[in-house]
């Protein structure tokens, strides 16, 4: 059995070679699973899982220990800022400037779809670069042309003879994909066509993912009129209690009157031809998403022919539907609203949130938009800072309440870093009379690294107390709040804590939190100094410095949305003092 296995990007083309390596006992490395045809992704994923779970194959982290955290938590790749560093190359490689001229009506959608296509490759690129640099006998098998090009740009050198790039007849495959999707679009559109369609008017239609935060918003908006929940698909069921309170429809339940169908089909045909002419030579998985744009428009056109909401609440800012939806809801006089899913603190530009288009888009604070995102988001979109999306209305008054001088430490992406254990122990030893509340997110806590953190951080220290309290509950139990890179830092500031970012991750290339004075600490000694400076009055905690990072107006998120939808606010604003003490 060799110590230098081949590392595979598993696809329909490389599957036979991968299985030969598995059955011959070579234990190949699964670098990524990238189906040429997206419907095959699930099956290939099952093959990879079978090989990995049976110890017949390895993960990159089995070759290089520093990659283990990426294997466990792929989102950690955002710390490497691959997209931010490669965006100029990315724009050129995918012909963004040409798209603006060749397909002007579809250019924004094309760019959004392309970013989503590429984002899955960044993980592969980071691991492939490390393997090429540190495992000289390992060969990379089956990289797609786009992945190989990104690797070359990221590594700063041409791939050597250890990199095998897969070839497929892309234009032929894409032609067949386009014809198949086009025929399916026509047939689907005809099946949803009726002699006449009577539109149902509602106050709010909501892209329902059963998030408790959305449910609280629905209840706040009930007085505006009927609320309609929209189920994305069969894999997104609506809980029984929600379905009992609000009517539920599927995203594909729309209907088209004949005149609309007769106008729509030629439009979709012309769009499909334009897209193939421009993008027919891209990777098939990429083209599959591009060629589906006419079908997605047909779905949304039908939906808004059958339902006329004044407002649509979207939670799919990472998907292409939200871009098309804004165009389609405008045809019936409605508005599309959405909210950011979290604060991009791992890096400053995330590919899936690079192209966003709502009528109004709510963000935690405007700093990241103004500094890094404004140039690509829709120019006519209103961006409004609202702070956290996760607080209940009853929790807002607690921002002004007195709290004990205890210290909270929230750990997630830094779990596994030796520096985090030293940080927690240093704080506990510096303040033995205070409780150090240690919150670990379940996804990370229930790992070997998480269990090691809980065992070692409090060993011999009675004042380190593990907790799984929710963030805002924790904010009521401590005046000082430290977290590794997370939206939690901003939420804790908004809810009255003296909050700081624990900045100890060596691979984190950029962070907007580093651009704000005093917000980042790098050691327990520095954190201790900050606390003592605040309490002595020599270095107050200046919340006003962070007003661009997180909304500190004192208004509840619910009242901001209510007013934007024509309803009266229920409470006045209660802003925090500009500094503490």
- Determine the pLDDT at residue 12: 96
pLDDT of residue 1: 40
Residue partners of 247: CB distance under 8 A and separation at least 6:
226, 228, 229
> Using one digit for the tens of pLDDT, what is the confidence trace for 498-531?
999 999 999 999 999 999 999 999 999 999 999 9
Cα–Cα distance, 563 to 108 (Å, whole number): 30
Closest to 182 (Cα-Cα) out of 56, 101, 267, 86: 267
β partners of residue 202: 309
Q: What percent of the chain has pLDDT over 90?
A: 92
pLDDT digits (tens, 9 = 90+) for 531-571: 999 999 999 999 999 999 999 999 999 999 999 999 999 99
CA-based end-to-end distance of the chain: 65
Element (H or E) spanning 259, and its range?
helix 258-279
Q: What is the pTM of this model?
A: 0.94
Cα–Cα distance, 7 to 553 (Å, whole number): 52
Q: What angle do CA 298, 304, 306 make, to 5 degrees?
A: 105
Which tokens sit at 540? 């107050």
Query: DSSP letters of 300-365?
Result: HHHHHHHEEEEEEEE--TTSTHHHHHHHHHHTTT-EEEEE-SS---S-S--GGGSS---SEEEES-
* 254 has pLDDT over 80: yes
With beta carbons less than 8 A apart as the criterion, state whether 229 and 247 touch: yes
Band (pLDDT 50/70/90 cuts) for residue 5 is: confident
C-alpha span between 296 and 327 (Å, rounded): 12
**CA atoms of 535 and 526, how far apart (whole Å):** 14
Task: Give the residue extent of every domain in the chain.
Answer: 7-167, 174-385, 402-550
The string of pLDDT tens digits covering residues 53-90 is 999 999 999 999 999 989 889 999 999 999 999 999 99
Q: Which CATH number fits domain 402-550: 3.40.190.150, 3.30.420.10, 3.40.50.2000, 1.10.10.10?
A: 3.40.50.2000
User: Cα–Cα distance between 383 and 548 in angstroms, integer?
Assistant: 13
pLDDT of residue 3: 61
Q: How much is the average pLDDT of 149-176? A: 91
Contact 138, 7 (CB under 8 A): yes
Return d(Cα 224, Cα 231) in angstroms, integer: 21
pLDDT digits (tens, 9 = 90+) for 398-452: 899 999 999 999 999 999 888 999 999 999 999 999 999 999 988 888 888 899 9
């Amino acid at each position: 059995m060799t110590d230098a296995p081949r590392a595979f990007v598993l696809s329909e083309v490389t599957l036979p070679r991968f299985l030969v390596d598995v059955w011959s006992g070579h234990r190949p490395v699964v670098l990524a699973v990238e189906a040429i045809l997206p419907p095959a992704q699930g099956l290939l994923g099952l093959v990879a899982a079978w090989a990995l779970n049976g110890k017949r194959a390895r993960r990159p982290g089995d070759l290089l220990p520093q990659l283990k955290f990426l294997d466990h938590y792929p989102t950690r790749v955002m710390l490497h800022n691959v997209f931010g560093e490669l965006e100029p190359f990315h724009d050129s490689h995918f012909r963004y400037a040409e798209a603006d001229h060749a397909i002007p009506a579809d250019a924004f959608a094309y760019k959004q779809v392309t970013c989503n296509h590429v984002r899955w490759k960044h993980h592969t690129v980071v691991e492939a670069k490390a393997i090429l640099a540190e495992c000289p006998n390992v060969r990379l098998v089956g990289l797609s042309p786009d992945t190989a090009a990104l690797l070359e740009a990221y590594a700063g050198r041409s791939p050597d003879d250890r990199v095998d790039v897969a070839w497929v007849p892309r234009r032929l495959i894409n032609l067949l994909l386009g014809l198949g999707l086009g025929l399916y679009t026509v047939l689907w559109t005809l099946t949803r066509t009726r002699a006449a369609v009577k539109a149902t008017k509602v106050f709010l239609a909501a892209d329902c993912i059963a998030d408790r935060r959305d449910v609280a918003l629905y209840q706040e908006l009930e007085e505006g009129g009927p609320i309609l929940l929209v189920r994305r698909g069969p894999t997104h069921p609506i809980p029984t209690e929600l379905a009992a309170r609000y009517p539920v429809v599927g995203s594909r339940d729309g209907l088209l009157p004949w005149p609309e169908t007769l106008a729509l089909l030629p439009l979709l045909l012309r769009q499909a031809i334009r897209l193939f002419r421009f993008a027919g030579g891209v990777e098939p998985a990429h083209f599959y998403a591009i060629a589906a744009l006419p079908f997605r428009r047909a779905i949304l056109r039908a939906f808004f022919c059958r339902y006329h909401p004044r407002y649509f609440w979207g939670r799919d800012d990472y998907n292409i539907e939200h871009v098309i939806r804004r165009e389609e809801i405008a045809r019936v006089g409605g508005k599309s609203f959405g909210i950011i899913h979290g604060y991009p603190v791992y890096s400053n530009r995330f590919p899936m949130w690079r192209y966003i288009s709502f009528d109004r888009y709510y963000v935690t604070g405007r700093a990241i938009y103004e500094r890094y995102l404004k140039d690509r988001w829709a120019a006519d979109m209103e961006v409004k800072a609202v702070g956290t999306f996760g607080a209940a209305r009853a929790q807002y008054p607690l921002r002004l309440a007195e709290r004990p001088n205890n210290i909270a430490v929230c750990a997630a992406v830094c779990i596994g870093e030796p520096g985090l254990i030293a940080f927690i122990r240093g704080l506990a030893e510096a303040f033995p009379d205070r409780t150090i509340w240690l919150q670990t997110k379940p996804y990370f806590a229930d790992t070997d690294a998480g269990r090691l953190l809980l065992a070692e951080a409090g060993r011999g220290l009675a004042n380190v107390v593990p907790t799984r309290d929710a963030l805002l509950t924790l904010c009521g139990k401590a005046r000082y709040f430290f977290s590794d890179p997370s939206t939690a830092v901003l939420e804790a500031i908004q809810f009255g804590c003296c909050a700081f970012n624990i900045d100890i991750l060596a691979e984190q290339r950029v962070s907007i939190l580093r651009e704000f004075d005093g917000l980042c600490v790098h050691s327990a000694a520095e954190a201790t100094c900050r606390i003592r400076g605040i309490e002595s009055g020599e270095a107050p905690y200046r919340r006003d410095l962070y007003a661009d990072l997180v909304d500190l107006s004192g208004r509840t998120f619910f009242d901001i949305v209510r007013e934007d939808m024509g309803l009266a606010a229920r409470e006045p604003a209660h802003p925090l003092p500009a500094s503490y003490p």
